[in-house]
Amino acid sequence: MSAMTPVERVEAAYDRIRSADRPEIWIHLRPRDEVLAEAAGIDPSLPLAGLVAAVKDNIDVAGLPTTAGAPTYGYRPEADAPAVARLRAAGAVVLGKTNLDQFATGLVGTRSPYGAVRNAWDPARISGGSSSGSAVAVALGMADIALGTDTAGSGRVPAALNGIVGVKPTKGLVPVTGVVPACYTLDCVTVFARDLRLARAAAEIIEGPDPADPLSRTGTRLPPPPARPRVAVPGPQHLDGMADGWRTAFDTAVARLASTGVEIIETDITPLLQAAELLYGGAFVAERYAAVGGHLEKHRDQIGADLDPTVASIVLAGRDRTAADWASDTARLAALGAAGRALLDGCAALLTPTTTWHPTLEEVAADPVGANARMGRFTNFANLLDCASLAVPAGFVDGLPFGVMFTGPAFSDRALAVLAERLANPGLDLFVVGAHLTGQPLNAQLVQAGGALVGPARTACGYRLHALATEPPKPGLVRTAAQAGPGGGEETGGDGATGIEGEIWRLPAAGFATFTAAVPAPMTIGTVELADGRQVKGFLAEPYAIEGAPDITRFGGWRTYLASR
């Protein structure tokens, strides 16, 4: 997957680490010579050969300490976590362990005795957490892929704030064996990469059950979305309070997705947001206490030193939750989940901003709990409600990355990737004049290729239309060799002077390629000039096909010709 050899890629990675001068990214970095020796033995035929990886320091890597961001907690594992072992088996080389919000508790990336991880684009701003070091290592080009974890949004928020892709798989698809738990029943191992396809490839490589993790699972993948899928977006009341310019950026992303043929449905997502509040505001925080509360109790003298006081206050508060609280919140969560699923029934996914703002380090220091709470509005419910989620870049606002997120039901992971590809590659326009027009016999081929009607259009003058002897009947569009006029089209002074009527359809890149490859002779796809001066791809006929074919240019279009017969 890389043009460089594994050794060359490792050399480049260490050079990048040195030149970037971001020591807060790494908690443990393997010696360069050791990693180079490992890279030299990589089989170049492996799917991830030549790629370097970073691993969040709450995931075990054999031979390196696991600290979860707390020096007092550190231990040295004898084996890789399955997710790490599977990456290595596919040819990836692990560089080291990355910084995080301590005990994976936070969405800011500043709650660590190893230092606040600064944003890849603006060092005065947060990186997002808790998988802060992993995300920034990828964003700065130190690593091709990185592993993180996600309980509340930690595999998605830092992706958005650093302009990369964050894959949060369905719970259990990737085992959490060898992962320091935050909330064991909710935790997910996640993947960061700069490219969507690489991120998804790595995510699928690390999937698969593990006998040591009783919550790991497989499931039936949901089918890819239809050619004209329906995607829900939050109502305007849920988009209040976002950073300046982010609402406009989100609206632009929604319009971009709609231009690919997706039907956008505005939805009241109140039940989902209410479910999100239960992650920290309900009894589920007791899981955090069950995971590391005993360690914090034992090392209370280190709170404020090696143990982050904000993290400690959150985790220790879980001690006070009762079994009755847990039962009550579980029942409430079930009701909210049912309401949310009903609202999204018939939709392939929910599209939201990934987070709501991008604070500075100073803003988070001034209000660590409140600032963090704003980060998880759209992420906190996903694991509680057993959703898959995918965070992708969606442009920039004031020079900083802006990201959006697709969220869908369990096992919709691949379907979400298909939708994200449509957003990243909104498609190509195709001008049609005959049997592919709306209502005509071959229109379904455009729809099946993911096409969406943009609207009516007309050629520049100088085109002629002929009725071909094909089945089903089709017209052949050809351009004359007359002198081009002021608008770029030829002046014919007669039939064709006002152009030929047709339609513009927009197809996703993959659908466009598949569709055009199947166009039979004598039809061909060429460049058509429109009456407004635009040049788009469109149906034309090879010259031999119009020999003896009736000239129907005077009708101005195929539908008018058919109506006259």
- Enumerate residues 6+ apart whose C-beta is below 8 A from 533: 460, 487, 488
Pairing of strands 349-353, 230-234: parallel
d(CA 138, CA 10): 14
Active site residues: 56, 130, 154
- Enumerate residues 6+ apart whose C-beta is below 8 A from 557: 433, 465, 500, 501, 502
Q: Which residues of 540-554 are buried (b: 16+ CB within 10 A; e: fewer)?
A: bbeeebbeebeebbe
Chain-centre distance for alpha carbon 209: 24
> What end-to-end distance do the CA atoms of the chain give, in Å?
57
Chain-centre distance for alpha carbon 188: 16
Query: SS3 of 457, please?
Result: strand
Q: Which residues of 429-450 are buried (b: 16+ CB within 10 A; e: fewer)?
A: bbbbbbbbbeebeebeebbebb
d(CA 146, CA 199): 9
> Do 152 and 195 contact (CB within 8 A), yes or no?
no
- The residue with tokens 């088996």 is 89
d(CA 352, CA 58): 28
**Structure token pair of residue 130:** 């808790």
- The residue with tokens 């006998």 is 211
CA dihedral sign, ordered 417, 420, 424, 430: positive
- The residue with tokens 């031979």 is 63
Q: 188 - beta bridge partners?
A: 150
**Structure token pair of residue 283:** 């009894």
d(CA 303, CA 492): 84
125-128: Cβ within 8 A, 24+ apart = 125/161, 125/358, 125/359, 125/360, 125/361, 125/400, 126/161, 126/358, 126/359, 126/360, 126/361, 126/364, 127/158, 127/161, 127/162, 128/157, 128/158, 128/159, 128/160, 128/161, 128/162, 128/355, 128/375
